[in-house]
Amino acid sequence: MASRYHSAFNNGVYFERVHWDISRLQRLHEHADWVLLFDRTLDKTLFETPSLTDVRLIDYYPNLPGGYRMAISSQRTNAVAWQLSQVLYQFFTPKEMDAQQVAAEMLKTLSQFAGGLLLKTLGGGSLAQELLGLYATYRFLIAEGEYVPEADKLIPLDDYQGWFGRRTQRGRRADLLVLRTPAPGVLRLVAVESKWYKDSIGGGFVADEFGDNAQMRTAVETLRSLFDPTQERLDKDYWQKTLLSLLDIQSNAWDDFRQRFGRGDWTLEVDGIVYVHQYAAQDTGALSASNMVLSREVAKHLHFPDDQKFFCLGPDAQRLRIKGRVEIVQQFLVDGY
């Protein structure tokens, strides 16, 4: 909002139309290994322009101080793909999958929601393994209907650590957030945690996720605290605007929801899912039995109806999902690799 002067100051609207020179941006990528763009008007859709060929958005920061945004992109992503393939070779045999083909698909997929971690894989180590867990979780979310790419939105909570304040220092947040509108005027936020483990888990793990001050409980309670439209807090407008900025999904359902959002005619639902990928576990039957036992442990930490506002899907929802090697390989081979 700006003011204009005509005998007196009156409210007016100021805007700029920004035109990105795609041909120059293309040439820049042809001459540089990595391209960093820093601007308030920068948007991820710039990299979806058909005339910008073979350019991959590697990382995107939408909420920098001063309203700035930053993007890191490249035409030369072979080093990242190679590192991903080396990580895959550590865990899977050539008979199980074509690591290079899977790595290429991982790069394409993860650049959409975990670009920052992609750069860090160049150093190898645990962060590279974390990407395997995120990719497996992404695959299972789609396979199990928890995320529909054409209708929902998936964001990395690593980009929004400020939402969780000091609790992020102890890892008290989830990895991903699914935004969906399951019914008119309803926004559902599903926090998703991803684990890549060799060893089995037990009751202690469940308590660390769903007990008092635990990771998943902290995530869903924070989401409810920040975005509940019925709450009364001094910074409510700020958080409502923050939430609205995320709802850029293009579909009729979201058009309707944004209109309801503007009128204040909407409700919020939150819940959470934890995926544990036990990549060394071969016995699918034993793993399924363990999942059932530990799901009962999860239920002991949830107290309905009081917890309904944090776990909207009710007491019978499966919030802990343990996946073994066979299932993981199947999901990695969805595209035939």
Is 121 a residue whose pLDDT tops 70? no
pLDDT for residue 230 is more than 70: yes
Are the CB atoms for 208 and 289 separated by under 8 Å? no
- Based on C-alpha coordinates, what's the Rg of the chain? 22
The reported pTM is 0.86
Tell me the three state secondary structure of residue 333: coil
Instruction: Give residue for tokens 């991820």.
Output: 44
Could you list the beta-strand ranges (E) of the chain: 2-5, 9-12, 35-39, 56-61, 69-74, 153-156, 176-180, 186-197, 267-278, 320-323
pLDDT at 2 over 50: no
Q: Over the stretch 132-173, which tens digit does the pLDDT of each residue have?
A: 999 999 999 999 999 999 999 999 888 788 888 754 444 568
**Terminal CA-CA length for the chain:** 52
Please give the average per-residue pLDDT across 38-46, as a whole number.
Answer: 85
Residue 168 pLDDT: 43
The pairing of beta strand 186-197 with beta strand 176-180: antiparallel
SS3 139: helix
Greater confidence (316 vs 253) lies with 316
* pLDDT(250) > 90: no
How many angstroms separate the CA atoms of 2 and 327, rounded? 56
The pLDDT-based confidence of 3 (bands split at 50, 70, 90) is very low
Q: 3-state DSSP call for residue 49?
A: coil
Percentage of residues of the chain with pLDDT beyond 90: 56
The answer for residues whose C-beta is within 8 angstroms of residue 255's C-beta and 6 or more apart is none
- HSE at residue 57, side-chain half, CA atoms within 13 A, is 21
pLDDT at residue 114 greater than cutoff 80 = no
| pLDDT greater than 90 at residue 224 | yes
Long-range contact list for 120-125, CB < 8 A, 24+ apart?
121/80, 121/83, 121/84, 121/87, 122/79, 122/80, 122/83, 124/83, 124/86, 124/87
Query: What is residue 170's predicted lDDT score, i.e. its pLDDT?
Result: 47
3-state secondary structure of 320: strand
Partner residues linked to 273 by β-bridges: 192
